[in-house]
């Protein structure tokens, strides 16, 4: 596979469930991102990892917990979510960070999350 | 924080027509990016602009980095049905310790009638 792969593509969960979103990039990039896409709103940056180190936590509630075990994999662990958390969650990767000549982001196809 | 005004919000055009959309900002950017998002998929990079005044083409797409560094436009010539989708602009400042942060517009929804 090439590019950025996200699983699952669709997820329906209750407010008491615990689930995880997975992202894998095959581009050799060293930075990975989680974005939230809601209807009629700009893409919202949630988390950024550079070389497996979290460099950004954009005031995201603690019910979202990211994990980056290596530069190719990124997870978003979900627990006790609210209905307003329903959205498309996009993973992205890039090469370079912080003045190293960052490349444009490459996005996965997202996970459509519905919280009931 | 920084905000981008992207317009129009939506467009309905006939196949073969040309399309123009733009983004403006109250603050400057060092990089402008244009993405397209098809239904059920993630955004795909169309054009990246790195220099004020730069004009770049990608097939039927042409984008320009405004000379003031506060705006950018995207033109699509001779539209075809597969041009349907949401087009996003994004600005990047590339300064200090947070050059990875992109500011996205809300998108332009393009519909092309065959």
- Distance from C-alpha of A109 to C-alpha of A22, rounded to nearest angstrom: 12
Q: Is B1 on the interface with A (CB under 8 A)?
A: no
Contact (Cβ atoms closer than 8 angstroms) between residue B32 and residue B65: yes
pLDDT at residue B99, rounded to an integer: 60
> In chain B, which ranges are E strands?
4-7, 10-14, 19-25, 31-37, 44-49, 55-58, 61-65, 71-76, 85-92, 102-104, 108-113
Is pLDDT at B96 greater than 70 in this prediction?
no
Q: Is A108 on the interface with B (CB under 8 A)?
A: yes
Determine whether the interchain pair B100/A4 forms a contact, defined as Cβ–Cβ distance below 8 Å.
Answer: no
Determine how many CB atoms are found less than 10 A away from the CB of residue B51. 12
Place B93 in a pLDDT band, splitting at 50, 70 and 90: confident
Alpha-carbon distances of B51 from A94, B9, B41, B88, B104, rounded to whole Å: 20, 26, 29, 19, 18
| pLDDT tens by residue, chain A, 116 residues | 569 999 999 999 998 889 999 999 999 998 999 999 998 788 999 999 987 778 777 789 999 999 999 999 999 999 999 999 999 999 999 887 655 556 788 999 999 999 99
Determine how many CB atoms are found less than 10 A away from the CB of residue A56. 18
Place B97 in a pLDDT band, splitting at 50, 70 and 90: low
Which among A1, A8, A40, A14 has a CA at the least distance from the CA of A109?
A: A8
> What distance lies between CA B44 and its chain's CA centroid?
11
Residues 44-103 of A with CB under 8 A from B: 45, 48, 50, 55-56, 90, 92, 94, 97-99, 102
Q: Is A83 helix (H, G, I), strand (E, B) or coil?
A: helix
* Pairing between β-strand B4-7 and β-strand B19-25 as defined by DSSP bridges: antiparallel
**Angstroms from B38 CA to nearest CA on chain A:** 10
- Distance from C-alpha of A60 to C-alpha of A88, rounded to nearest angstrom: 15
């Amino acid at each position: 596979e090439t590019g950025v792969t996200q699983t699952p593509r669709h997820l329906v969960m209750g407010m008491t469930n615990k689930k995880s979103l997975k992202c894998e990039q095959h581009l050799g990039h060293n930075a990975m991102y989680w974005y939230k896409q809601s209807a009629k709103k700009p893409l919202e940056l949630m988390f950024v990892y550079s070389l497996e180190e979290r460099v950004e936590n954009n005031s995201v509630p603690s019910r979202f917990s990211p994990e980056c075990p290596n530069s190719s994999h990124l997870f978003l662990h979900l627990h006790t979510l609210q209905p307003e958390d329903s959205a498309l969650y996009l993973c992205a990767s890039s090469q370079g960070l912080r003045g190293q000549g960052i490349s444009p982001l490459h996005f996965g196809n997202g996970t459509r999350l519905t919280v009931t | 924080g920084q905000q981008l005004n992207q317009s129009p919000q939506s467009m309905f055009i006939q196949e073969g027509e040309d399309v123009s959309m733009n983004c403006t900002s109250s603050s400057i950017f060092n990089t402008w990016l244009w993405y397209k998002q098809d239904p059920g998929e993630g955004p795909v990079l169309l054009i990246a602009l790195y220099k004020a005044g730069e004009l770049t083409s990608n097939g039927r797409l042409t984008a320009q980095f405004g000379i003031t560094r506060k705006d950018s436009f995207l033109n699509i010539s001779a539209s075809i049905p597969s041009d349907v989708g949401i087009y996003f602009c994004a600005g990047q400042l590339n300064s200090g310790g947070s050059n990875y942060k992109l500011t996205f517009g809300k998108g332009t929804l393009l519909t092309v009638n065959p």
